Amino acid sequence: MDAMKQLLLLFFKKTCDSRWKYMYKKILKYFSATHALNPAMTERETTRTSEQQIQPPQKLMRRLAYLVQYSPNTLIITDTKGRIEYINTVFTSTSGYQYEEAVGHNLDELALHDQGSMPGFSLASISGGDVWQGEITSYKKTGDPFFEQVSVLPITDANGAFSWIAFIKQDISERKQVEKDFRTLTETLEKQIREQKATEIELAIVNRQNELILNSVAEGIFGVDVEGSITFLNATAEKLTGYREKDVFGIPYRLFFRPTREDGSRFESSRCPIFASFKDGKSHKSRHEVFAKEDGASFPVRLVSAPIIEDKTVIGAVVLFKDITDELRIQNEKKKAEQKLRELTATLDERVRKRTAQLNAANEDLLNTLDQLQKTQAQLVQSEKMASLGALVAGIAHEINTPVGIAYTAATHLDKETEQMVKLYQGGKMKRRDFEEYLTVCQESSTLLQSNLNRAGELIRGFKQVAIDQSGEAKRTFNLRQYIDEVMLSLRPVLKKTSHAIKVNCDTEIQLHSYPGAFSQILTNLFTNALNHAYEEWESGVICLDFSRAENFLHFQFRDNGRGISANDRAHIFEPFFTTNRRNGGSGLGLHIIYNIITQKLNGGITCQSEPGKGTTFAVSIPLT
């Protein structure tokens, strides 16, 4: 009974409905008189007087039970573990659970509350004396959610121990819906207010932009209402006419038109494009009108009149005009220029014919000069080749002179000895010793003749082959190493005058089917170039020739350890007539001839690598097929 008394008092204390205030005060007065709930009493005093408490009358308890049972608020009483011991009628009608479906069951079994909407709530804390209040989401038996205002508080027994937990709940779904509707309405109003402000700002921006556009265009613009009165003037129109908008507002637009046209006729409004726009609601143009300024001066304009239409009714017009003074001046100048052009065109054909004849004559002279230069270049190249061959002939002639001279001396000596022996024989004075001496002379002379004539024959054969190859264009198969030896033999007269070491590295098995004369010309020019440019006369150097075969190409390197070539000169060494030794007779065609032979005749390529003081290397690649 003590728990019920306290529960009733707490329940009615949490109730906000005015219908129960009178009963609550009466109950509070009764229990205060019996000291059951005197807040000034200590726990010990309460325990001491508990046995002395007077039981309330049954009539009052029935009223209290009735009030609890039919209170507009939901009441749930559980033990400290959450098992339901009591529910009132409102709980049944609100949740849909009957008395027997709820009482005896745990709160978690029925899933009456959304635990996520009850932060900080726990049965253990309530059982310890805490009170929890808040708005939560609850669920009906059907699973439908609704909102409740909840107060969860502990109930003590007669000994003051916390033995029960009371859930006092009030359905606030309608209030929540009203709040939601109010928030929605508030948001809608705020949105409409923001949109209205944004529209006002946009409208102000548009008006400002229109004003800036009107005042920034190069053409004059003014507005006219249906009465023909001026409504606005942009900055350009003010500048062109000299009038100010405030001075001409409401004045008829005829103010801008001169009363008399340039042809002497008077201005008639019925013939004006603005009047035509009012009449038919269409745009009209005029290519040439004359406007009057405020100071009385005039200027030509081109104008366009466009009607302003609202609800299919013309309510005004916008007129755009442009000062065409400069255009008319340009047109007049253009007419004069066209007249002058027509006059010039009349004599143009004759001048063109004369100029064409002069150009043709100059072109013919240029072609003849170019042809002559090409022939001269070809002659110089051929002369260079012949000069190289002549130098080869001179060297070979000098080389042959020695063995031929020895052979001639031996033959002359043998002839004299033979003539002496014939005289001894004819005079009968020949002795055995004379004959033996003669035979010795014959043997020695024959040996000298044979060895020297053989040497001369070898020189002649090598020279003959090289000369034929250089002067002819025949393609034949030859052994590369043997042919290089023949070329080196032909170059001996030149090379023996120097102290340079010549090193040749070439496989003896390399067979080529190509132009041997081209190889002879390449080697001869490379050696000549090295001797003339790479070394001083007193220097001793090393010249290396390396030949190798890789796949379908013959690779050839010609290296010297001479003075080298600067970067500027290296960029021009293969150009015709470029030489750094012209004072000593250089023609500048040696490397040019090599370049043409390799790239055009042999379909190969040649490169040069050199630095001053580090020698020069020519790398040649020639396809074998």
Q: Over the stretch 341-391, which tens digit does the pLDDT of each residue have?
A: 887 777 777 777 787 887 788 778 777 777 776 666 565 555 555 555 555
Rounded Cα distance between 523 and 506, Å, is 14
How high is the pLDDT of residue 111?
87
What integer is the mean pLDDT of 301-324? 90
* CATH code given to domain 217-323: 3.30.450.20
What's domain 473-623's superfamily in CATH? Histidine kinase-like ATPase, C-terminal domain (3.30.565.10)
Question: In whole angstroms, what separates CA 383 from the centre of its chain?
Answer: 58
Angle value at C-alpha 314, between 313 and 315, nearest 5 degrees = 105
As a whole number, mean pLDDT of residues 92-110 equals: 89
More confident residue, 97 or 156: 97
Given this model, what pLDDT does residue 209 score? 78
67 pLDDT band (50/70/90 cuts)? low
Is 172 strand, coil or helix? coil
Average pLDDT over residues 113-139: 87
Is residue 319 a contact partner of residue 253, using CB atoms and an 8 Å limit? Answer: yes
Please check whether residue 293 is in contact with residue 279, taking contact to mean a CB–CB distance below 8 angstroms: no
CB-neighbour burial class of residue 163 (10 A; exposed 0-12, middle 13-18, buried 19+): middle
Token pair of 171, please?
Answer: 């359905």
The burial class, CB within 10 Å (0-12 / 13-18 / 19+), for 551 is: exposed
The Cα–Cα gap between 257 and 243 comes to 13
Residue 545 to residue 491: CA distance in whole angstroms: 14
State what percent of residues in the chain have pLDDT above 70.
76
Render pLDDT for 566-598 as a digit per residue (tens, 0 to 9): 989 888 888 877 887 766 656 677 888 889 889
Least confident of 328-332, 436-440, 525-529, 597-601: 436-440
Helical residues (DSSP H) of 217-324, grouped into ranges: 235-241, 245-248, 273-280
Per-position DSSP letters for 16-62, written without gaps between them: --GGGHHHHHHHHHHHHHTTSS-TTS-HHHHHHHGGGPPPPPHHHHH
pLDDT at 439: 82
Tell me phi and psi for residue 395, to 5 degrees. Answer: -65, -45
Per-residue confidence (pLDDT) for residue 321, from 0 to 100: 92
Lowest mean pLDDT among 21-30, 117-126, 258-267: 21-30
Q: What percent of the chain has pLDDT over 90?
A: 17
Mean predicted confidence (pLDDT) in 125-141: 88
| Average pLDDT over all residues of the chain | 78
Tokens of 309: 């239409």
Question: Which of residues 46 and 249 earns the better pLDDT score?
Answer: 249
Residue 599 has pLDDT above 80, yes or no: yes
Say what the pLDDT of residue 454 is. 65
The confidence band for 411, taking pLDDT boundaries of 50, 70 and 90, is: confident
Strands 501-505 and 511-514: unpaired
d(CA 454, CA 294): 123
| Local structure of 232: helix, strand or coil | strand
DSSP line for 388-433: HHHHHHHHHHHHHHHHHHHHHHHHHHHHHHHHHHHHHHHTT---HH
pLDDT of residue 390: 53
| Angle CA 499–504–509, to nearest 5 | 160
Q: From the DSSP assignment, how many helices (H) and strands (E) are in the chain?
A: 19, 17
With beta carbons less than 8 A apart as the criterion, state whether 618 and 608 touch.
yes
| pLDDT tier, 408 (very low <50, low <70, confident <90, very high otherwise) | low
Instruction: Report whether pLDDT(521) > 60.
Output: yes
Pairwise CA distance, residues 554 & 507, whole Å: 11
Q: How far from chain centre, in Å, is Cα 504?
A: 55
User: Is the per-residue pLDDT at 510 higher than 80?
Assistant: yes
pLDDT of residue 29: 47
What fold is seen in the domain 2-171?
Answer: Beta-Lactamase (3.30.450)
